Amino acid sequence: MLLFIVLRVSRSARIALLAVVTAASAVAMGLLLVPGSPTSVYYGTGTHAFGLTLGALLAVVSRWWPTRALEWPRAARRGLGIAGIVALAGLLALTVVMPGEADVSYRGGLFAVAVLTAVLIAAFLVPASPLARAIDVAPMRWVGERSYGIYLWHWPVFVLLAAAFPTWTRDAGLAWALGGVAAVITFGAAALSFRFVETPIRRDGFRASWQRWAGGWRRSRLAAVASAVVLVLVAGGIAGTAAALVLQPDSSEVEQRVQAGQQAIRETPTPSPTPTPDATSDPSAPPRS
């Protein structure tokens, strides 16, 4: 509904509407947060929409920007370059210091991440700037072309691995190893889906791609095996995402541990205080005069 409205109004109205929705979403996340239980606001569309709407706002605004480096005022290029470097440093700092379960992360922390990301992307859009040249290297272009597939694959892959190796998530070293394995599988699945699913559909359309796949199955056993692997990966990703949504707990693991500790404290009987012995009751004490 919001997308339909944005597409129907003027550009200035789009900017105003997206700015209002972005601010409202960020405020709603902070107001509706249940302290110690961020699951609902994190997974809620309305309370976590500010990242999408802020990106849409940047896309609308950036259409007015010059497309050539010489058309940019020197001050604007320099200012955005400095802002981009500061935003990148801020994102790295928040990645290290911002706790995932703390209330402050949902009362401004994630919104700060979205704002810094938007500033960094804006700095990348300045033609021929140092940041733009750095992001235009071949490995970064490869990741950028497959970024949406990486985004779609990473969560079901991580959920399935965490379910297969539950003990890994409880140890810091094993958790990093689990993340590394998930990253390798995610990049591999994204590369396969980009090559065999996304690119043919974008180039030829779904119907023609399906007919070519079906013909390949009949002509080549190797093509059939490769296509079957891709389809299994796609089906696994869909199943993993569905399982993640269905099996997502009402509270996080850290929250459950905290609640268990609080319950244990409540159930532990409080020992009665030991009375302090009176010096006069000691038989060995000298009698009072």
Decide if 270 is inside a domain.
no
Does 284 map to a domain?
Answer: no
Choose among 65, 46, 60: nearest CA to 17: 60
The terminus-to-terminus CA distance of the chain in angstroms comes to: 94
Domain count of the fold of the chain: 2
Does 157 fall in a domain? yes
User: What is the model's pTM?
Assistant: 0.64
Residue 286 lies in a domain: no
* Secondary structure, 3-state, 100-169: CCCHHHHHHHHHHHHHHHHHHHHHHCCCCCHHHHHHCCHHHHHHHHCHHHHHHHHHHHHHHHHHHCHHHH
Same domain? 75 vs 5:
yes
Predicted confidence pLDDT, tens digits, the chain (289 residues): 777 787 788 888 889 999 999 999 999 999 999 998 898 999 998 999 999 999 999 999 988 887 676 677 888 888 888 999 999 999 999 998 998 888 999 999 999 999 999 999 999 888 778 888 888 889 999 999 999 999 999 999 999 999 998 888 888 788 889 889 999 999 999 999 999 888 888 888 888 878 777 776 555 555 555 555 655 555 555 555 555 444 444 444 545 554 555 565 556 555 555 555 554 545 544 445 4
Same domain, 104 and 37: yes
Pair (84, 126) in one structural domain: yes
In a domain, 19, yes or no: yes
CA-CA distances (angstroms) from residue 287 to 277, 279, 281, 282, 284? 16, 11, 10, 10, 9
Task: Evaluate whether residue 46 is within a structural domain.
Answer: yes
Do 218 and 165 reside in the same domain of the chain? yes
Select from 105, 136, 167 the last residue of a domain.
136
Q: What is the DSSP string of the chain?
A: -HHHHHHHS-HHHHHHHHHHHHHHHHHHHHHH-BTTB-HHHHH-TTTT-HHHHHHHHHHHHHTTS-SSGGGS-HHHHHHHHHHHHHHHHHHHHHHHHS-SSSHHIIIIIHHHHHHHHHHHHHHHTSTT-HHHHHHTSHHHHHHHHTHHHHHHHHHHHHHHHHHH-GGGGGSHHHHHHHHHHHHHHHHHHHHHHIIIIIHHHHHH-HHHHHHHHHHHHHH-HHHHHHHHHHHHHHHHHHHHHHHHHHH--SS-HHHHHHHHHHHHHHHSPPPPPPPPPPGGG-TTSPPP-
Question: Does residue 126 lie in a domain region?
Answer: yes
205 domain residue, yes or no: yes
Do 10 and 125 belong to one domain?
A: yes
For residues 132 and 142, membership in a common domain is answered with: no
Q: Check residue 120 and give its pLDDT.
A: 94
In this structure, are 33 and 58 located in the same domain?
yes
Q: Are residues 131 and 14 in the same domain?
A: yes
Q: Is residue 2 domain-shared with residue 95, that is, in the same domain? A: yes
Q: Are residues 75 and 88 in the same domain?
A: yes
92 plus 176 within the same structural domain: no
Query: Which residues make beta-bridge pairs with 34?
Result: 37
Domain of residue 206 covers 138-250
